[in-house]
Amino acid sequence: MRLRPLVAVSVAAVSVILLAGCSGSTGATASGSPTAAPAADLCDAQVSSGAAADAVTVSGDAGVAPTLSFTAPIQIDTLQAKTIDKGSGTPVTAGQFISYAMTAYDAETGQKLGDIGYKPGQLLPAQISASSPLGQVLGCGAPGERVVATFPASEQGAAQVYVVDLLGIVPSAAWGAEQAPVAGMPTVSLADNGAPTITLPGGNPPTETQIATLKKGDGAAVQSGDQVLVQYTGVRWSDGKTFDSTWDKGGVPTSFTTTGVVPGFRKALEGQTVGSQVLVTMPPADGYGEGEINTNDLKGETLVFVVDILGAQTSAAQ
C-alpha cells in the first residue's frame, strides 16, 4: 500500500494515508487484487515512539473517534507510533485483513481533519503486512488496540497526527448463521478453511438467475456501487468444473465494486449483508452473454458462484 498524507478535510479523504501499499510491499497487485503476504514478524515491524508521538494526548474510548490534544506545531521528522490502549485476544498476523478506524489532525495547525471507519461501511478491511503503513503503525496489535502515529511532511502534504484503532480481525470466510438450503439449487460443502465445493443437480440449467443465502451475516447491507471484499468460487454448469476461485489463489480475498461485475454477480451481492455466504446460478444473459459454448471464454455458459462477503465500503466513502 502506498502511503500518502492527508490533504483534505472530507471524511473520505482521511482514508488515503493508510489505504495503499508502499513500494515493494505486499498489498494490491497490478490488477488491484490483494496478494498473499509473506510471513513476517509484525511485532518487529512497528516503528518506535519518540518526542512527537509523546507530545500527543489522546482522550476517549477505543473504538470511538477520539480527541487529540497537542501544542501545534509539532516537529515531526520521522514516522513514530505509540500504543495508547493495548488490545485483547489473538494478535494480528501478516497477511490477515483487519477492520480499523482512524482520526487525523494537522500537525502544523492542530486542526482536526476528519475521522473515518467508526461507522459501518466507511472503510473496507485492509490487508496488513510488515512493510505496509498499517503494519508499521499497529505492529502485532490485537483487537481494541489504539495507536497514535505521527507522519512527517512530504511532497504530498503537511505533517499529520493520526490515531488508528484496530477494531477487529476479519475472518477469511463468511461467518453468518447457516440458512436452510433451497431445493433444486446446487449444494455446497465447505472445507475446514471455508473453501466451497459445489455439486450441481441433474437436469437442465435454470433459465433465470437464482439466488440463495447460505449464511446470513450480521453486518451492513451491500448497496449499489459499494466496494466489497469477497471470497468466491465459480463453476460452469456445462461440466461442473471450477473456472475461477480466490481459494485457489492462496485463499486471499479480492475486492471490486458491485457495478463492475456481470449482472448475475451484482444481483447476488446487492442487498446481502456483510458476513453472508451467497449461492447464485446465472444464465448466460446475466453472465458473459449468449453464444456457442467454447473453451476460450464463458459465453453461452450458465455459471454457479459461491460468494463470501467479508466487507463493504459505501460508494460515498470511496
Encode 183-240 in three state secondary structure. Answer: CCCCEEEECCCCCEEEECCCCCCCCCCEEEEEEECCCCECCCCCEEEEEEEEEECCCC
16: Cα within 13 Å, side-chain hemisphere: 15
- How far is Cα 80 from Cα 150, in angstroms, rounded to an integer? 5
In 62-186, beta strands by DSSP E: 67-69, 80-85, 97-106, 112-116, 126-127, 146-151, 160-170, 177-178
* Chain segment 119-150, per-residue pLDDT in tens: 999 999 999 999 888 999 999 999 999 999 99
Query: Residue 31 pLDDT more than 70?
Result: no
pLDDT score of 12 more than 50: no
> What pLDDT is stored for residue 40 in this prediction?
60
pLDDT at 151: 92
Q: Is the pLDDT of residue 177 over 90?
A: yes
For the domain with range 12-170, which CATH number is right: 3.10.50.40, 3.30.2310.20, 3.30.460.80, 3.40.50.150?
3.10.50.40
- The answer, yes or no, to whether residue 98 has pLDDT greater than 90, is yes
pLDDT, average across residues 201-219: 96
Q: Please state the domain extents for the chain.
A: 12-170, 177-317
Q: Is the pLDDT of residue 16 over 60?
A: no
**Pick from 179, 217, 228, 173: nearest CA to 195:** 173
Distances (CA, A) of 159 to 80, 121, 275, 296: 12, 27, 37, 52
Q: Domain 177-317 class?
A: alpha beta
pTM above 0.85, yes or no: yes
The predicted pLDDT at position 295 comes to 65
State yes or no: pLDDT of 290 exceeds 90.
no
Report pLDDT for 20: 39
Are 275 and 217 spatial neighbours (Cβ–Cβ below 8 Å)? yes
| Cis peptide bond N-terminal to 263, omega within 30 | no
- What's the pLDDT band for 232 if we cut at 50, 70, 90? very high
Give the pLDDT mean for 27-44: 55
**Integer Cα distance of 144 and 165 in angstroms:** 7
Among 181, 210, 214, smallest CA distance to 306 is for 214
Predicted confidence band of residue 30 (pLDDT cuts 50, 70, 90): very low
- Residue range 211-233: mean pLDDT, rounded: 98
pLDDT(25) > 70: no
Residue corresponding to grid cell 502506498: 2
Q: Using pLDDT thresholds of 50, 70 and 90, give the confidence band for residue 173.
A: very high
List Cβ neighbours of 1 (8 Å cut-off, separation of 6 or more). Answer: 18, 19, 20, 21, 22, 25, 27, 28, 126, 132, 133, 134
Q: What pLDDT score does 244 carry?
A: 95
Across the chain, mean pLDDT equals 88
Same fold, 12-170 and 177-317: yes
Q: Is the pLDDT of residue 15 over 60?
A: no
pLDDT band at 155 (very low <50, low <70, confident <90, very high): confident
More confident residue, 260 or 39: 260
